[in-house]
Structure 1
Amino acid sequence: MVLLGTIVNGICIILGSVLGKLLNRIPEGIKHTVMQGISLAVIILGIQMGLKSEQFLIVIFSLVFGAIIGEYLALDDRLNNLGNWIEEKVGKNSEGTVAKGFVTGTLIFVIGAMAIIGALDSGLRQDHGVLYTKSIIDGFTSLILATTLGIGVIFSAIPVMLYQGSIALFATQIEKWVPQVLMDSFIVEMTATGGIMILAIGLNLLGLTKIKVANFLPSILVTALLVVIIYFWADMIHFVQAIR
Structure 2
Amino acid sequence: MPGLGTLINVATIVIGAGIGLALGHRLPERTREVTTVALGMVTLLVAGLSTVEITSPALVDAVGGSAPVLIVLASLLIGGIAGSLLRLEERLEDLGGVARRLFTRSRSRSAVPAPAAAGPVEGEAAGAGGGSDGEAAAAHAGAHRFVEGFVSSSLVFVVGPLAILGAISDGLGHGIDQLALKATLDGFAAIAFAAGLGVGVMASAVPVLIYQGAFTVLGVVLGNFLPEASVAALTATGGLLLMGVALRLLRIRSVPVADLLPALLVAPILTAVVAAF
TM more than 0.5: yes
Corresponding letter in the other structure for 2:80: A
- Measure how far apart 1:222 and its partner are: 1.4
User: In the alignment, does 2:267 pair up with 1:223?
Assistant: yes
- Residue 202 of structure 1 and its aligned partner are, at CA, apart by 0.5
Distance in 1, matches of 2:178 and 2:253, equals 31
**Aligned residue number for residue 223 of structure 2:** 175
Given the alignment of the two structures, is residue 43 of structure 1 paired with residue 39 of structure 2, yes or no? no
Q: Distance in 1 between matches of 2:179 and 2:261?
A: 21
Write the letter of the residue equivalent to 2:229.
S
Could you say what secondary structure the match of 2:227 adopts?
helix
Distance 2:151 2:213 in 1: 19
- The question of whether the paired residues in 1 share the 8 Å contact of 2:234 and 2:264 is answered with yes
Contact persistence 1:95–1:148 (CA under 8 A): no
**How far apart in 1 are the matches of 2:93 and 2:186?**
21
- What code does the residue aligned with 1:230 have? V
Work out which of the residue numbers 236, 239, 258 in structure 2 matches 1:195. Answer: 239
Aligned residue runs from structure 1 range 152-171, under 5 A: 152-171=200-219
Alignment length (residue pairs): 229
CA displacement, residues 30-89 of structure 1 (integer Å, 9 cap, x when unaligned):
222222111111011111111211412110000011111111111111111111122233
Deviates more, 1:84-93 or 1:49-58: 84-93
2:253 to 184, 189, 209: 209
What is residue 16 of structure 1 aligned with on the other side? 16
- Structure index of larger Rg: 2
Alignment TM-score, normalising by the size of structure 1:
0.88
**Range with greater deviation from structure 2 (72-81 or 8-17):** 72-81
Amino acid at match of 2:164: I
Equivalent residues in 2 for 1:49-128 (5 A)? Answer: 49-53=50-54, 54=59, 55-91=68-104, 94=142, 97-128=145-176
Which blocks of at least 5 consecutive residues in structure 2 are unaligned?
A: 60-67, 105-138
- Within 2, Cα distance between the matches of 1:157 and 1:196? 23
Runs of 5+ in structure 1 lacking a partner?
A: 235-244
- Which residue identity does 1:98 align to in structure 2? F
- Code of the residue aligned with 2:259 in structure 1: it is N
Secondary structure of the equivalent of 1:23?
helix
Does residue 1:143 correspond to 2:187, yes or no?
no
Aligned to 1:238: none
Change (3 A) 1:95 1:65: closer
